[in-house]
Amino acid sequence: MQRRSLRVGGLMIGLVLVGAGHVASAVAADARLEPDIRLEPGLLPLAPGSATEPTHPPVEIDWSTSLRGSYIKDRDGERFELQAVPRGTLDYQGRRGTLSASGEVTITRQEHEDPQIGAFDIGISGAYALADQTSAEGAASFTMTNPEATIRDIADTTADPADTISGTVLGSVTRQFGKLSVSAEGGAERTVYGETRLADGTNELNGDRNLWSVEGGLRVSYALTPILDVFARGGANRDYFDHPRPENGQFANATGTSFSVGVLGNWDGWMQAEASVGYGKRNFDAIAFEDAESLLYSARLTFNPYEPLTFSAGVDNSFGLPTSDSDATSTVTTNAYADLTYTANSWLRLRAAADVYRTRTMAEDETEKGYGYGVGADYLLNTHTQLTADYGYARAETAGEPAEDRHRVTFGVTLAR
């Protein structure tokens, strides 16, 4: 059964210190300059090829550590939770390309339990200009999640949900032909599930959930005006599972296809909007599984009327895969969200967020729905220390089961380099 909770985390506020330096300039012969000044070593004239502007290193390394304490109230009662989240980043800026890498570990300690690694993420991304009108982008990531360390509202029959390890590689090449832009996209993903420990003490293997996924697509866009672009995208993906399903002895291998058209607008940065509509289908090789199809749509809006205020909202309907404790093969999720950020001054930022969702499990015709909201604040104590405070509420309703409510109050501090 798919579970969902709203997390409203603290956001880092970056302060940039601009240092003033001396800038030397070559001056032609001037009668007002004293001869002895002109003959000062290293002053005039400048050596050939010498720098006239300050430079910065091509590689920037940064790190931070967040310490959080939370009070949680849900159907399991009241409890406290501690988290430590170290994070590091590396950014490279070259003449023709950029490269970014990041790593983050979430260490969680539930009340009366030993600390556990709840999540581990490593990612790298980059872009490179192949030619004047051709560019390439790529990204790779590795993620490990431990649901037991981050959720408590698991199924009554489950004592320890399965850990998940996934790796993803994505890439694209884009070519400009005047107002026309064409992008070829492709990628691969590997997902592996650990064992699920049931409440009766037995273990359930999840080898039939382990899979390889490959995908590819083509996106074509055209600039109608300096503000509006129209685009069309078609894609296909293929899922290969390691083992057959135990209930019927069949592999759940499937081929997915999708097509969508849309429009994108950008009004000088103060407002951006995108909307698309399309159709998707998921066809299984084995007749034991029911094919799935759905209307796909997406709409997003970012509104920044003046610098301190940013508002964003969106809605989308998309295909997905169920969690490891479900016997279904496909899900369709409709999700709507809104976020508001207000920077009151250089040391205080206020945040608010809300979302609502509905997930329909194909074939089983099971529906889960829920909503959540939260508010938070970031207070910059100094250039290296930030304090955060958050409150979040989430509600989930699944057919045939009682509704689940969760309240979370979190206080934290982030120490940055």
Give pLDDT tens digits for 270-299. Answer: 999 999 999 999 999 998 888 888 999 999
Q: Give the residue among 414, 410, 404, 288 at the shortest CA–CA distance from 3.
A: 404
In whole angstroms, give the CA distance from residue 342 to residue 8.
15
Classify the phi-psi angles of 44: left when phi > 0, otherwise alpha if psi is within -120 to 50, otherwise beta: beta
Q: What percent of the chain has pLDDT over 90?
A: 58
Tokens found for residue 178? 């005047």
Are the beta carbons of 372 and 394 closer than 8 angstroms? yes
- Distance CA(180)–CA(402), nearest Å, equals 53
Comparing CA positions, the residue from 209, 195, 191 lying closest to residue 148 is 195
Q: Where are the beta strands (DSSP E) in 146-210?
A: 158-160, 164-177, 180-193, 196-198, 203-204
Q: What are the φ/ψ torsions at residue 286 (nearest 5 degrees)?
A: -90, 140
- Backbone φ, ψ for residue 36 (5° rounding): -65, -30
Closest CA to 252 of 359, 324, 156: 324
Q: Which tens digit of pLDDT belongs to each residue from 2-56? A: 333 333 333 333 323 333 333 333 333 333 333 443 334 444 444 444 444 445 5
Residue 322 pLDDT > 80: no
Distance CA 352, CA 347 (A): 17
Residue with the larger pLDDT of the pair 336 and 199? 336
Give the mean pLDDT of 177-194.
95
202-235 confidence digits (pLDDT tens) = 777 888 889 999 999 999 999 999 999 999 999 9
Q: CA gyration radius for the chain?
A: 26
Please tell me which residue, 26 or 198, carries the higher pLDDT value.
198
The pLDDT tens digits of the residues spanning 53-77 come to 445 568 899 999 999 999 999 887 8
Q: Please, what sign has the CA dihedral across residues 67, 73, 76, 79? A: positive
User: Confidence band (pLDDT; 50, 70, 90) for 324?
Assistant: low
pLDDT number for residue 24? 33
